[in-house]
Amino acid sequence: MNMTQKRSLARVLLAFTLLGFLLINNQSFGQEQAAEAETEAAASSSGPIPTEPARITEGESLFNGNCKTCHKVHQKLVGPALANVYDRAPSIDWIVSFIQNSSKVIASGDTYAVNLYEEYNKTQMTAFPTFSRDQILSIMAYIKAETEAGPGGDDPKGDETNVTQTAGDSVPAAYLNAIMVGLIIVLVLILVVLVLITTILRKYLNQREDLDEDDEAIVNPTLDFDKLVKSKPVIFLVAFLFTAIAFKVVVNQLYAVGVQKGYAPKQPIAFSHKLHAGEYQIDCQYCHTGVRKSKSANIPSPNICMNCHSAVKTESPEIQKIYAAIENDRPIEWIRVHNLPDLAYFNHSQHVKVGEIECQTCHGAIEEMEVVQQHSLLTMGWCIDCHRKTDVNAKGNDYYTNLVELHEQESKGAMKVEDIGGLECSKCHY
C-alpha cells in the first residue's frame, strides 16, 4: 500500500514538472518569435544589424577595447552617447565610413558630420581604418543590445555593490561607537550609585552614637592638605619638575631658531599633492621637470597643468585661476616652502639623478600632504648625518671607478658619501 502511494505521488510530480517545462518552452518560444519580429522591423528601418549573441559579444570586446574611453552608450562623454546611433545617423554606410576615417567624411562637407564636429568643439574622432564593415556591425549589434537593455542596465548593480561596500565598512564602526557610549554611560551610572551609597552610609554612621574614636577617624577622614603641600619632598619634586621642563623647552626652542620644519604656507592655488601624487599617482618628475637637470626641481609652468586641466575640472574656481594666469600672461606666485639658507649650496640633480635618492627621503610623504610642509630639518647636522650614513651610488657609474678602487685599498666597508669629500666645508659653503 505504502509503495503504491509513493509511486502514484512520483507520477503526479513527474507530470507536473513535464507540464511546467512545456509551458516555459512555449513562453520562451513566444518571446523568440516576438524578438524576431522586432528585429525584422528594426532591420527594415536601420539596416542589417546582427543580433546573434556571438556578434554582440564580439562587438562588446571591440567596443571596450577601442571606443569606451570616449563613448558610452547612455551617456555623453568625449563623444556623443551612442544609444540609437544606428537610427540617428544618416545610414549604416555613413557610420562605417565615419568610423574608418572621420576627418575624410567631415572634409567631404557632409552636413551631418560637420554639424557633429562643430557640436563637439571640433574634436576629431580617431580614425579606425583597420575596422572592417563586419566588425563595425558587431559593435552596432552591441550598442543595439545595450540600447534595448536601457540605461538602468548597469547602474543598479553598481549601486548594490556600493551599498554593500559601505555597509561592510561603516556598520561595525557604528556598532563600536554605540558600544563604547553604552559602556561609558553604564560606568558613570555605577559611579553615581557608589557615591550615593557612601554618602548614605556616612550619614547613617554619623548618626550612631556608639562609635569609638578609631572608627570615627575612618568615617570622617581628616587629611591635612596644607601640611602635605608644604612638606619638603613635595616642594623639591615640584621645583625639580618645573626646572627640568622649563630647561627642556628653552633648549628646544633655541634649537628651533633658523629651522623651518613644519612651515606650510597657504599657496595662491589650493593644489593638493595628496590628490595628484597620491590618488592619481602622477610621478613627481612629470611636473618637477628640473629635478634631474638642475639645481632646482622647478615649479611647473601652467602649460603642464593644462595637459590635464584643459579637460579635467574646468569649472573649479581654483582651476580658473590657472586659466586667468595664462590669459593675462602673469606668473602664478607660488610661495617657496623649502628655503635653504643662501650660505649653503644644494643641487637636486646631483642627489636625484646620480644618487638616485627618493624625493620622499627629504620631503617626507608628499603624496599624503594636502598642503605641502617642510618635513626635514634642513640643518647642517641633518645633511652631515645623511652623508655619513649613505653609500655612494657608484654602480654602473664610470666616474666612480677609480674612487671605489682607492677606497677598497684602504677600507673594507662600503664607500660612504663622507669618504669622497661629502663632509668638506667647501663642498657646500663657498
For residues 384 and 80, give the distance between their C-alpha atoms in angstroms, rounded to a whole number.
60
Residue 285 binds another protein, judged by CB under 8 A: yes
Handedness of CA 375, 377, 380, 381 (dihedral sign): negative
Q: CA-CA distance, 235 to 243, in Å (whole number)?
A: 12
Is there binding between residue 152 and another protein (CB under 8 A)? no
CB of 317 to another protein, least distance (A): 19
Residue in 260, 273, 351, 428 binding another protein, rule: CB under 8 A: 260
Burial 390-399 (b: 16+ CB within 10 A, else e): bebbbeeeee
55: CB partners within 8 A, 6+ apart: 137, 138, 141
Show the site string, 287-316: x = touches another protein by CB under 8 A, - = not.
--x------x-xx-x-xx-xxx-xxx----
Q: Is the Cβ–Cβ distance between 428 and 344 less than 8 Å?
A: yes
244 belongs to the binding site for another protein (CB under 8 A): no
Is residue 253 involved in binding another protein (CB under 8 A)? Answer: yes
Contact criterion met (CB below 8 Å) for 126 and 103? no
Of the candidates 369, 343, 410, 355, the one whose C-alpha atom is nearest the C-alpha of residue 278 is 369
Cβ–Cβ < 8 Å for 290, 297: yes
**391 phi and psi, to 5 degrees?**
-75, 145
> Cα separation of 385 and 418, whole Å?
10
Q: How far is the CB of 158 from another protein (least distance, A)?
A: 5
Instruction: Name which of residues 315 to 344 contact another protein (CB under 8 A).
Output: 330-331, 334-336, 339, 341-343
Closer Cβ to another protein, 77 or 270, answer by number: 77
Q: In b/e form, how buried is each residue of 259-280, taking b as 16+ CB within 10 angstroms? A: ebeeeeeeeebebebbebbbee
Stretch that binds another protein, among 45-53, 86-94, 177-185, 250-258 (CB under 8 A): 250-258
| Distance, CA of 169 to CA of 245 (rounded, Å) | 44
- The 54-93 site mask, x for binding another protein (CB under 8 A), equals --------x--xx--xx------xxx--------------
Residue 10 as a binder of another protein (CB under 8 A): the answer is no
Write the burial class of residue 101 (CB in 10 Å: 0-12 exposed, 13-18 middle, 19+ buried).
middle
Decide: is 281 part of the binding site for another protein (CB under 8 A).
Answer: yes
Piece in contact with another protein (CB under 8 A), picked from 8-16, 206-214, 281-289, 382-390: 281-289
Using CB under 8 A as the binding rule, whether residue 263 contacts another protein is answered as: yes
Q: How many residues bind another protein (CB under 8 A)?
A: 63
Among 74, 104, 133, 261, binds another protein (CB under 8 A): 261
> Which of 91, 108, 124, 401 is in the footprint of another protein by CB under 8 A?
124
* Residues of this chain that bind another protein (CB under 8 A): 62, 65-66, 69-70, 77-79, 123-124, 126-131, 158, 246, 249-250, 253-254, 256-266, 279-283, 285-286, 289, 296, 298-299, 301, 303-304, 306-308, 310-312, 330-331, 334-336, 339, 341-343, 374
